[in-house]
């Protein structure tokens, strides 16, 4: 898929105020500091479309970006470890779940996983919640450039094995690196193929 245009549309914490048109949405979510903003910027080939920060938990709003005038990339707050008060955390965790429960045009979520870490309970719990609520998602392993190929494959395999303890089969997954653009074509191609099935031109 060729990215012809990517424009910021809105930020808010109220799902009811999200865009009213019925264009398909692809949501990106992950644990704080997993490299979500960097991945979004790499996919869109924009240096600062999504705001990156060294401080975990920077994204605390639902951010909509209109891509190629026909689909939305949705940047959701990171879950866990954000340096915000417990009450603030509850509020934005609530609108993450509300987004997935209420947003009918949400086609697919991409759950970002740091490939350098062993399976994290917070990620596994979140994906379990997605499964229980029948929210379709793919896994996206980030920061692939930080590991040698063998170590990377070993970590990914370990994660998939862990998933099989509770899942009948593992979700579709992608391996990505924001610094080297690994996985960009595969991930965008996947979105493009879904859009084509919905008769959207890319």
**Hey, what are 95's tokens?**
């609108």
Q: Which residue has the tokens 């920060």?
A: 53
Is residue 167 in a domain?
Answer: yes
Question: Using one digit for the tens of pLDDT, what is the confidence trace for 60-118?
Answer: 788 999 999 999 999 998 876 545 455 555 555 677 888 999 999 999 999 999 999 99
What is the number of domains present in the chain? 1
Is residue 32 in a domain?
Answer: yes
Handedness of CA 52, 56, 57, 58 (dihedral sign): negative
Average pLDDT over residues 21-33: 92
5-9, 75-79, 103-107, 190-194, range with the lowest pLDDT = 75-79
188 or 78: which leads in pLDDT: 188
CA 23 – CA 72 distance, rounded (Å): 7
Question: In this structure, how many other beta carbons lie within 10 angstroms of the beta carbon of residue 58?
Answer: 18
Is residue 97 in a domain?
Answer: yes
47 or 176: which leads in pLDDT: 176
157-167 in b/e burial notation, b at 16+ Cβ within 10 A? eebbeebeeee
What confidence score (pLDDT) does residue 33 get?
Answer: 84
Domain CATH number, residue 160: 3.40.50.300
For 88, phi and psi rounded to 5 degrees?
-65, -40
- Given a cut of 50, whether residue 56 has pLDDT beyond it is no
Average pLDDT of the residues of the chain: 87
Contacts (Cβ under 8 Å, ≥6 apart) of 14? 95
Is residue 202 in a domain?
Answer: no
Could you list the residue range(s) of the whole structural domain that residue 175 is in?
Answer: 6-14+22-197
Average pLDDT over residues 9-21: 90
């Amino acid at each position: 898929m060729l990215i012809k245009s990517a424009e910021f549309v809105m930020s808010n914490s109220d799902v009811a105020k999200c865009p009213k048109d019925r264009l398909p949405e692809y949501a990106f979510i992950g644990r704080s500091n997993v490299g979500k903003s960097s991945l979004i910027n790499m996919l869109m080939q924009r240096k600062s479309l999504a705001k990156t920060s060294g401080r975990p938990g920077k994204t605390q709003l639902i951010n909509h970006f209109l891509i190629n005038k026909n689909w939305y990339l949705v940047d959701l707050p990171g879950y866990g470890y954000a340096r915000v008060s417990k009450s603030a955390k509850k509020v934005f965790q609530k609108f993450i779940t509300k987004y997935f429960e209420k947003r009918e045009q949400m086609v697919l979520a991409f759950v970002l996983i740091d490939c350098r870490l062993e399976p994290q309970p917070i990620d596994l719990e979140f994906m379990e919640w997605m499964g229980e609520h029948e929210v379709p998602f793919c896994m996206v392993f980030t920061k692939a450039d930080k590991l040698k190929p063998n170590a990377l494959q070993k970590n990914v395999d370990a994660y998939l094995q862990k998933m099989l303890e509770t899942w009948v089969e593992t979700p579709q997954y992608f391996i990505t690196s924001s610094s080297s653009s690994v996985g960009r074509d595969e991930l965008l191609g996947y979105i493009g193929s879904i859009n084509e099935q919905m008769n959207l031109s890319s």
